[in-house]
């Protein structure tokens, strides 16, 4: 993620800080410039527009800003920032146990939206377009019925119970997974959404669908049969030679979503490393490296091989750091050649989509429409 710095003292500020940890200035995230702005109770004027605090500023610790002219209109935002407006359902007010878990999930949602906008991906909200992106954030522990994490017709459902480390870790172990996080769930499920709108429908179908089926398999195969087969027999033998994870073997949709999530894992972590000034100098390490690793500001015009080469060495370093702290590897995955091709396809779809549809701030677009 981008390093957000205080506009007053230039100190590093966390992604969810309401105040600069160094000088105490009240700050808020301004999405169009992907930066922090000094903010007061009255809001702040930026480029001729008045921005105010999200209505979740205090109760959910949201430090994002929203347009005042949008806040005053009944178009689904209800005073929320743009990521918050994508929440279609959340626990009822009396469900205090589930509501305690909501801020953690909302923080991961904001991180997701920030990255999607940074990559230039379209983020069309459900309240503006049928089939637009929406999130149902519910808890299986308090709802009385299971909450199945998944995606359907633009709606991503997330189980708030998985914000609890012990609960989520038990599922990870039971399912034999190498990695399971809330942000990972968001990234995986939104991958289903983007496969649908960028690859399977609209202009993307003519550009990408045949190649997608060649790489990932035919998505028209029965999903229910695939689920039954996967949980009855497990992954195919030697699945590591062609897939990024066991779950990716279940159905072509899951293979694409897993690769999409890993693309966001990789690019987000590389960007964080670059923003922190990290580079690996080949003449300084105690092992053989072909060249220095200097993370790029953008890999949009680079091949997937260049991106993954840099990632190979950076992830090796991060894994060694985690090992030194007695923790599991940060990135416990291998990327075989077939997965390189799949990630290359995801890379191309995202980058070409961004070039065809130059990113604009969703809230500014909304303000112009109403």
Has residue 370 got a pLDDT over 50?
Answer: no
Q: How many helices (H) and strands (E) does the chain have?
A: 12, 11
pLDDT digits (tens, 9 = 90+) for 177-197: 889 999 999 999 999 999 999
pLDDT of residue 76: 53
pLDDT digits (tens, 9 = 90+) for 343-360: 999 999 999 998 877 655
pLDDT of residue 365: 53
Closest alpha carbon to 91 in 130, 44, 141: 141
Question: What is the arithmetic mean of pLDDT over 7-34?
Answer: 93
CB 200 within 8 A of CB 193: no
pLDDT of residue 264: 98
Has residue 248 got a pLDDT over 90?
Answer: yes
Question: Which of the two residues, 55 and 59, has the higher pLDDT score?
Answer: 55
Alpha carbon distance, N-terminus to C-terminus of the chain: 32
pLDDT of residue 79: 84
pLDDT of residue 255: 98
Handedness of CA 296, 299, 300, 306 (dihedral sign): positive
Mean pLDDT of the chain: 91
pTM for the predicted model, two decimal places: 0.94
Per mean pLDDT, which range of 66-80, 250-264, 280-294, 356-370 is the poorest? Answer: 356-370
* Best mean pLDDT range from 98-107, 228-237, 339-348: 339-348
Question: What is the arithmetic mean of pLDDT over 323-331?
Answer: 96
Longest distance between any two alpha carbons in the chain, whole Å: 61
Question: What is the arithmetic mean of pLDDT over 116-142?
Answer: 93
Length of the chain: 370
Q: How many CB atoms lie within 10 A of CB 26?
A: 17
Per mean pLDDT, which range of 16-25, 34-43, 101-110, 165-174 is the poorest? Answer: 165-174
């Amino acid at each position: 993620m981008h390093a957000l710095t205080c506009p007053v003292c230039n100190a590093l500020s966390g992604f969810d800080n309401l105040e600069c940890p160094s000088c105490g200035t009240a700050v808020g995230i301004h999405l169009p410039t992907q930066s922090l702005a000094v903010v007061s109770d009255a809001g702040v004027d930026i480029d001729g527009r008045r921005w105010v605090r999200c209505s979740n500023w205090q109760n959910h610790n949201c430090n994002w800003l929203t347009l005042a002219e949008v806040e005053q209109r009944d178009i689904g935002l209800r005073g929320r920032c743009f990521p918050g407006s994508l929440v279609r359902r959340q626990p009822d007010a009396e469900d205090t146990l589930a509501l305690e878990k909501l801020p953690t999930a909302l923080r991961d949602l904001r991180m997701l939206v920030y990255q999607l906008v940074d990559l230039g991906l379209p983020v069309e909200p459900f309240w503006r377009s049928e089939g637009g992106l929406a999130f149902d954030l519910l808890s299986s522990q308090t709802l009385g019925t299971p909450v199945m994490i998944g995606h359907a017709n633009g709606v991503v459902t997330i189980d708030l119970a998985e914000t609890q480390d012990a609960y989520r870790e038990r599922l990870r172990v039971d399912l034999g997974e190498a990695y399971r996080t809330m942000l990972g769930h968001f990234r995986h499920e939104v991958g289903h959404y983007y496969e649908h709108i960028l690859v399977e429908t609209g202009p993307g179908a003519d550009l990408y669908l045949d190649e997608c089926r060649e790489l990932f398999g035919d998505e028209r195969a029965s999903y229910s049969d695939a689920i039954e087969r996967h949980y009855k027999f497990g992954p195919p033998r030697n699945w590591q030679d062609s897939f990024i994870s066991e779950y990716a073997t279940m159905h072509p949709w899951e293979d694409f979503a897993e690769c999409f999530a890993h693309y966001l894992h990789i690019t987000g972590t590389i960007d964080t490393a670059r923003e922190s000034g990290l580079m690996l100098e080949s003449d300084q390490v105690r092992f053989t490296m072909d060249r220095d690793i200097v993370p790029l500001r953008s890999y949009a015009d680079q091949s997937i091989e260049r991106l993954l080469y840099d990632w190979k060495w950076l992830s090796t370093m991060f894994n060694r750091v985690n090992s030194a702290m007695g923790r599991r590897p940060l990135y416990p995955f291998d990327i075989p050649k077939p997965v390189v091709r799949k990630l290359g396809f995801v890379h191309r779809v995202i980058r070409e989509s961004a070039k065809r549809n130059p990113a604009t701030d969703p809230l500014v677009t909304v303000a112009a429409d109403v």
